[in-house]
Amino acid sequence: MTKKVVFLVMLVLLLISSADILVHLNDFFYLPGSGFSDIPISHFPNLLQLQNGIINDHQIPLWSNLIQSGYPFSANPLSGIAYIWGWIAILFPLPAGINIVFILHLTMAAFGMYFFLRAEGRSQYGSIFGAIALVLSTKVFAHFAAGHLSFLYAYFWTPWLFYFTKKIGARNSSLYRFLAGMVIGFIICADARWGVPAGMLWLAYLFTHEGKLSQKFKTSLISGLIGLLTSSAMWLPLIEYVQYTSRYSLTLAERSVYALNTANLLGLVIPNSGGLAEWVLYPSAVVILMVILGLVLVQENKPIRFWYWVAGVAMLLSFGSQIPLLKYFFEIPGISLLRVPSRFAFLTVFSFAVISAFIIDYFLSNPKGYKFDRFFFLVPVTVFLVLFAAGAYLVTSKLAWTIVWSLTFFLLGTISLGLVIHQKMELNLVPIFLGLLLFIDLSGINFINLQPKNAINHLNNKAPLMDKLESIPEFARIYTPSYSISQEEGAYWRINQINGIDPMQLSYYVDFFELTSGIKNNGYSVTLPPFKSGNPASDNRSSCPKVEKLRALNVVYVISDFTLDHCPGFSSAKIISEKYLYEFNIEPAIAFFQNNNSMVDLLSFEPNRIVLHTQSGGRLILREIFYPGWEASIDGMKTAVVQEGIFRAIEVPSGDHNIVFTYKPRLVAYGFIIQYFSLLAVVILIIREVRRERKK
């Protein structure tokens, strides 16, 4: 095939597989049976705030007031500020921009995998097969439906990292060291969590493949350093931020909460529908059969043995601390911040894609048969599924569609591979037939697992209530113990909340919130307040918020799915949009003097800047969350900002004053300066190397 034909074939396959997303471009997507996804919960609000900040406020918001009474937006990895390619989304209406950028990354990953496999010596057919096996994996699309957007962005750069690394080994070229370093930087900027497994695999690949040891060290140092420099806007502020958060003190049990268990291994042969994306494993029937076949091709499988080791080790790591001695691995600084061991299984998906590409080429080489027929080793899996299906039907008198689906494709795959092994199929039909089997299997599962929800209807389904809430002052907040106002709704209507869902939460605010909400915090939780059974509509029904602390946070309304009439200070709820609305008849104040009742006027309230006016003096307490980086000036003269509980405070002399609070996080500034000057330097070096190689 010509390069143009390869390009068109892959593009058509990717467009068909993404058709559901393209048709529902401005929708949110969810897993079947799930009402939650991180795209509407986190990524949509963050990108919308970034978009609104640039369009309306003409600035990049470094601080966010949307959730948790305020937090350092620029230091939060989920803000997406450090990842330049994610900014493409804000060029479009949201969430359409998010879906567009996902498809672009998916396409980029497919071509990256194709080029990597070609560099590994695979044929065009094998490379296309491996690329499709990687990007259309049910694990990838399940995580998209679960909203793990930044993680997938990072994952999609992985094939390019290995392509450039392979080219380094082949040519010992500085050009590819620079390119590999840039990709490492993009991975860390997109999602630093994927940097750990990707970095481990990269070093293992680099040092176990052919080449001089000195050149390998040179590559690891140069590319690694470039990766760190070109991602400094992500990790430099994060190092400071994480020390202030509850994430910093994760227990071993909390780090393994989403680890795989042995029952999840059944997902390798039977696809999941709904449930948790973390436990989705199904790589397709034909890929599993190829992986089994590759294991027993002992005379030919030397080039892919490394990938079997990777797949096996990754699966072990996915079990977290359940595996003896692995608890010590997960206590290593940096790795100890990882909370979802099952994501190491993405390395298994990557390895299976590489192995399956090799098996396609093995078939195309028209190999001689073994004395002991290798087809024998494929039969047990299919027989197991037949017996499992029969047993399930006898016990329940019904058969889940996932079992029927799996059984169908394993039967087709086993028969097809049997024909190929026994040379009963034309060689030119082998990659086409097996490729179609792969494509139909994965695309079908992905289509079923993507459940669209109209974003406009979703964001406006409580319009009467939101109209009421929208009237509160820009600095005032609401509280919902039952997630009655979602984060995407809050962001869309610009309503600030004291609760919130985010993996990073300031520890001192978590402690204050526990007292405020009356809801006990039993360990780490991404939700504030925590939901013990995972049912926000009823979990916190018996808890009573403390009115005086709500007022301290400038809470004007409390919205709940259940009544709070039994709580002191709560009575006469209004029911609007089927929610209980409690209103505090008190004028919120953004700031107050500790020892007098003098007035403080608000002149301006922006994400990065707050301007006040007062005609009095004393200790002024701003009812906004304290965090390093906030500076204050009185009539243009800088003054110290100190922590007063969870709030910011300054000493104001007597008299008429204008007071300005400005968020100027130095580590964010340093990080961006280092990152973009490093990127510029690397681009210049790349251009220089390209010119030099052309002359050669």
pLDDT in tens, 385-442: 999 999 998 998 889 999 999 999 999 999 999 999 988 898 889 999 999 999 999 9
Sheet holding 657-663, edge to edge: 600-606, 609-614, 657-663, 630-634, 637-639
Tokens of 612: 């006040």
Rounded Cα gap, residues 54 and 137, in angstroms: 36
Consecutive H or E run containing 301:
none
Looking at 400, 431, 452, the residue that finishes a domain is 452
Same domain, 572 and 607: no
Tokens of 125: 């057919």
182-196 residue pLDDT tens: 999 999 999 999 999
pLDDT of 138 strictly over 90: yes
Omega before 95 cis (within 30°)?
yes
How many domains does the structure of the chain reveal? 3
Residue at 477: amino acid letter: R
Same domain, 626 and 649: yes
Domain of residue 601: give its range.
591-664
Residue at 534: amino acid letter: G
Rounded Cα gap, residues 597 and 471, in angstroms: 26
Write the CATH number for 654. 2.60.40
Same domain, 572 and 615: no
Same domain, 647 and 554: no
Rounded Cα gap, residues 186 and 180, in angstroms: 10
56 lies in a domain? Answer: yes
Rounded Cα gap, residues 156 and 351, in angstroms: 14
618-636 residue pLDDT tens: 999 999 999 999 999 999 9
CB-count exposure of residue 343 (10 Å: 0-12, 13-18, 19+): buried
Count the alpha carbons within 13 Å of 163 in the hemisphere toward its beta carbon. Answer: 22
Helices 430-449 and 345-364: angle between axes, nearest 10 degrees: 160
40-56 residue pLDDT tens: 999 999 999 999 999 99
CB-count exposure of residue 533 (10 Å: 0-12, 13-18, 19+): exposed
Same domain, 577 and 470: yes
Mean pLDDT taken over the chain: 94
Same domain, 292 and 390: yes
Beta-bridge partners for 497: 478
207 lies in a domain? Answer: no
Q: Could you identify the residue written with the tokens 């009356």?
A: 518
353-391 residue pLDDT tens: 999 999 999 999 877 778 888 889 999 999 999 999 999
pLDDT of 695 strictly over 80: no
Consecutive H or E run containing 647:
strand 647-652
Sheet holding 618-625, edge to edge: 591-593, 618-625, 647-652, 642-644
Omega before 545 cis (within 30°)?
no
Same domain, 16 and 133: yes
Same domain, 426 and 322: yes
562-592 residue pLDDT tens: 999 999 999 889 999 999 999 988 889 999 9
Tokens of 427: 């060689």
491-538 residue pLDDT tens: 999 999 999 999 999 999 999 999 999 999 888 999 999 999 889 999
643 lies in a domain? Answer: yes
Same domain, 434 and 515: no
Measured in whole angstroms, how far is the alpha carbon of residue 181 from the centre of its chain?
Answer: 22
